[in-house]
Amino acid sequence: MTYRECIRWIEQQKQWAWTMRWWRTYQVAVVAKGRSWSTEDIDQHIPRGVQALGCQGRARSDALWDYVIFDLDVGHGRDSYQTLDAALAAADRIAGSLGSCEVRLSKSGKGVHVRYVPPQPVADGPGLAKQLAADLKVKTDRAVLGRQVQFIWTRTPKPDGFRLIRPITSEHGADLVKAEDWETWR
């Protein structure tokens, strides 16, 4: 099975259908057998033992960013929150200020992921994310903020892993993937 086929299979699974909106396949992040890496060749066969997959908010290296990511860690990392409630309050501040955000718990269920869809795609996703984090005074995982890669599927989700906290409520966020654009960004 290739990465592309695996992603399509994931999207068809009821518990993972929510990922359809977010997959961008310019660079797929992979965790397998204790290693992590990214690949731009989504038509190669995936290795055995893949534990998690993720992506960026753009479809190609020359493409605009459809969305940007904020990773709010709890209890680990240099810029982390002490409690999940504190991280959720920061996520509410992001979503309340920007609108068009989806908030979910991380794959472990212990951190918080925020995906923001700007009114129009942007040229510099990492730059926008860094500026917004500074303006809103939120603590974010700096590596994720710069690379803009986040996991959205795991073979073994934790009990609260990826639990939806706040759905996107704005029109432009809800329309992020249109059927006619489906193959374009794949």
User: Among 36, 42, 63, 75, which Cα is nearest to 154's?
Assistant: 36
- In sequence order, the β-bridge partners of residue 153 are 53
Q: Are 56 and 148 in contact (CB under 8 A)?
A: yes
**CA distances in angstroms from 123 to 60, 99, 165, listed in the order given:** 12, 20, 28
The tens place of each residue's pLDDT in the chain, 186 residues long, gives 999 999 999 999 999 999 998 998 788 999 999 899 999 899 999 999 999 999 988 877 778 999 999 999 998 878 889 999 999 999 999 999 999 999 999 998 889 999 999 999 999 999 999 999 999 999 998 888 788 889 999 999 899 999 999 998 765 555 554 333 334 333
3-state secondary structure of 107: coil
Give the amino acid at 24: R
CB atoms within 10 A of CB 166: 17
Domain residue limits, the chain: 3-177
> In degrees rounded to 5, what are phi and psi of residue 99?
70, 180
**CA distances in angstroms from 147 to 4, 89, 150, listed in the order given:** 21, 24, 9
Give the amino acid at 87: A
> pTM of the entire structure?
0.87
